[in-house]
A and B are shown apart, each in its own frame.
Chain A
Amino acid sequence: MLACCLLAAAGLAVHHGATADANDRYPEPAEVAADYDAHVGQQIHLWGHVAAVHESSLTVTSGPLRIRVTYPPGAAGDRPADANVGELVQVYGTFEPARELAAERVVVSSDAGRQYMFVVSGLAALLTLGAFGRHWRPTVREPGFGRA
């Protein structure tokens, strides 16, 4: 049964890897970088990093794609002044000619917040292991866990 579950887990990873792109509503940044003009007019939910902050736009990189994010009237979310170089950013928008992405919404994740996230996530792993270890002990004869 356990072997079946391990096989199923491997199967999920392979099946997801093989089919996720075809079921994704947006193009991959690498595809866009390879042939930008073919994607003009398409929408994307882009995850990238801020490469430069301008007065009314951002330069964002995502893998091989480097693009200027512009803010048409009505664009929602964070403004260019809310972003710092290197921070993680989500942009939902439409590709325009001349390598511009007209944003509908921009969401910036602060670096300080992300560092906090990684540190407390490490603590959480230790906390979980500690709590688990107070109630359960590894068993050898039948690989698994028994009551502590």
Chain B
Amino acid sequence: MPDLLTHVLLAYAGASALHLATDRVPARVVPVAMVGAAFPDVTKLYLLVPPERVGAWLGVPLSYWGWHTLGGVLVATVGGAMLFPAADRRRVALALFGGGVTHLVLDSLIVRADGLAPQYLYPFTWWEPPAGMLYLSSDVWPSLVALALAATAFAARYRAARTPTDPATGEAPDVRL
């Protein structure tokens, strides 16, 4: 992965841009996209609870990397959306899925010594696409780019809040982060 900050800041910037562009993306959906973008890194659970130990205890082989895949994102999308009010479920699901998929796309751009990205399309295929070879997880610059984009999005939302869209009521758009 690029660091988690890059993932959630880019999700914030992208979802905020959609929020500013259309009424169909309310502000409350923006942090949901950030959660979606963070989800695949739930695999980092291995640092706290090694899958080998859990697997040995359960008597089955176990790998958390199955969640860092398109299949994992789909399960998280459906399961996650069920936790929200019915009226919000569709847009929540789209935000979770969009965030998760951008995470996988960004991770497939990482430099790999063999030039191949991992099997992120599991369980549909074990295909390893060519890696983007753009950055390392430990590089600092991707998070600086993401920070610049997120700051721009925040400024645009702040500006929009100071320019009421409805002159009759003077009601400002929702700009909570």
A148 to chain B: closest residue by CB? B28
The 8 A CB mask of A107-127 against B (1 = contact, 0 = none) is 101100110110011011101
Partner of B122, one of A14, A16, A90, A128: A16
Q: Is the interface of A mostly helix, strand, loop or mixed?
A: helix
Question: Is A85 among interface residues, defined by CB-CB distance under 8 A?
Answer: no
Binds B, one of A33-41, A49-57, A130-138: A130-138
Which chain B residues in 36-87 approach chain A with CB under 8 Å?
A: 38, 41, 51, 55, 60-67, 69, 71-72, 75-76, 78-79, 82-85
Would you call A132 and B35 a contact (CB within 8 A)? yes
How would residues 95 to 117 of chain A score, 1 for a CB under 8 Å from any chain B CB and 0 otherwise?
00000000011110110011011
New A-B contacts (10) at CB < 8 Å, excluding given A124-B8, A144-B85: A2-B83, A5-B75, A5-B76, A6-B79, A8-B79, A13-B62, A43-B114, A125-B4, A134-B176, A147-B88
Q: Does B177 contact A (CB under 8 A)?
A: yes
* Mask: chain B, 108-147; 1 = CB below 8 Å from A; 0 = not: 0001111110010011001010000000111110010000
Contacts A/B (CB < 8 Å), 13 sampled:
A17-B55, A90-B112, A107-B136, A109-B137, A114-B138, A120-B4, A124-B3, A127-B5, A127-B8, A128-B35, A134-B177, A147-B85, A147-B88
> Which chain A residues border B104 with CB–CB below 8 Å?
none
> At the interface, yes or no: B13 with Cβ under 8 Å from chain A?
no
Interface string of B1-16 (1 = CB under 8 A from A): 0011101110010000
Of the candidates B63, B84, B116, the one whose C-beta lies within 8 Å of that of A17 is B63
B64 closest partner in A (C-beta): A13
Given contacts A2-B79, A124-B3, A127-B8, whether A15 and B85 have CB atoms under 8 Å apart is no
Count the B residues whose beta carbon is within 8 Å of the partner chain — how many? 57
Chain A: minimal CB distance from B106 (Å): 13
Known: A105-B114, A107-B113. A120 touches B143 (CB 8 A): yes
User: Number of A interface residues, CB 8 Å?
Assistant: 52
B67 in contact with A117 (CB, 8 Å): no
The docked-state distance in angstroms from the alpha carbon of A24 to that of B115 is: 15
A12 at interface by CB-CB < 8 Å = yes
With the chains together, A116 CA to B144 CA distance in Å? Answer: 12
A140 at interface by CB-CB < 8 Å: no
Q: Does B34 contact A (CB under 8 A)?
A: yes
Asked if B85 and A18 sit within 8 Å, CB to CB, the answer is no
Tell me whether B12 and A131 are in contact (CB under 8 A).
Answer: yes
Q: How far is the CB of B168 from chain A (nearest CB, A)?
A: 24
* Distance from A21 Cβ to chain B, minimum over Cβ atoms (Å): 9
Complex contact A124–B4 (CB within 8 A): yes
